[in-house]
């Protein structure tokens, strides 16, 4: 009888240990898988940032500044260095929003791999499109720093292009994807200006 009880206890301990090992393995596999997904999202976001915002904030301004068609420049003196602050601010806004897409939305800014969860935190509680405002701020800063009227015109037209994209593509797609939760979000947070018109 004593021997049977001992074997039963050993069996229970052994079973408990195996179950604990299985649970630990599952937990480790889950965390490894989550880490791999996060790294993949970071990689995809980095590539998208180089291709899309990189084109808008680097390639297009480069071609404008090196174009043979020259517009008069604007003399800003030392004030031109405030453009560097605008560039830094805009870049920080974009990176913050991109990180929110990864960490909270479980997706990327790329339209072919969008967030699977509605991102409505941090800057997205202030306006619905802070990423576009960040990119526009970068281009405005470049126009100021390089004292370029051509870049200033580009910086003025860029928000119009973003607005048309938001109204005719992104908002219908988000309403279709998130339904009532996105509609409530639109009622609470304005498109461009805090406490302004939608």
Render pLDDT for 157-183 as a digit per residue (tens, 0 to 9): 999 999 999 999 999 999 999 999 999
Tens of pLDDT, residue by residue over 133-160, are 999 999 999 999 999 999 999 999 999 9
Q: What are residue 148's DSSP bridge partners?
A: 73
Q: Quick check: is 25 in a domain? A: no
Does 35 reside within a domain? Answer: no
- Which residue would you say has higher pLDDT here, 75 or 23? 75
Distance CA 188, CA 198 (A): 10
* Residue 2 lies inside a defined structural domain of this protein: no
Instruction: Give the chain's domain count.
Output: 1
- Rounded Cα distance between 8 and 26, Å, is 27
pTM over 0.85: no
Q: Is 141 within the bounds of a domain? A: yes
Residue 81 lies in a domain: yes
Q: Provide the domain limits for residue 56.
A: 42-188
Tokens 């994807």 belong to 177
CA distance 148 to 71: 8
């Amino acid at each position: 009888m004593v021997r049977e009880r001992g074997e039963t206890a050993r069996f229970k301990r052994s079973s408990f240990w195996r179950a604990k090992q299985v649970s630990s393995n599952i937990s480790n596999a889950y965390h490894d898988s989550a880490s791999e997904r996060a790294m993949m999202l970071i990689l995809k976001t980095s590539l998208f940032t180089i291709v899309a915002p990189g084109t808008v904030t680097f390639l297009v301004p480069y071609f404008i500044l090196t174009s043979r068609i020259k517009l008069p420049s604007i003399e800003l003196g030392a004030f031109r260095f405030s453009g560097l602050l605008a560039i830094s601010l805009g870049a920080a806004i974009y990176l913050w929003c991109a990180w929110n897409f990864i960490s909270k939305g479980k997706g990327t800014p790329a339209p072919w791999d969008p967030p699977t969860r509605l991102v409505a935190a941090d800057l997205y509680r202030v306006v619905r499109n802070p990423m576009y405002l960040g990119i526009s701020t970068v281009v405005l800063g470049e126009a100021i720093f390089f004292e370029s009227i051509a870049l200033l015109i580009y910086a003025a037209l860029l928000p119009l292009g973003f607005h048309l994209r938001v109204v005719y593509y992104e908002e219908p797609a988000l309403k279709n994807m998130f339904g009532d939760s996105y509609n409530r979000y639109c009622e609470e947070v304005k498109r461009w200006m805090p406490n302004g018109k939608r």
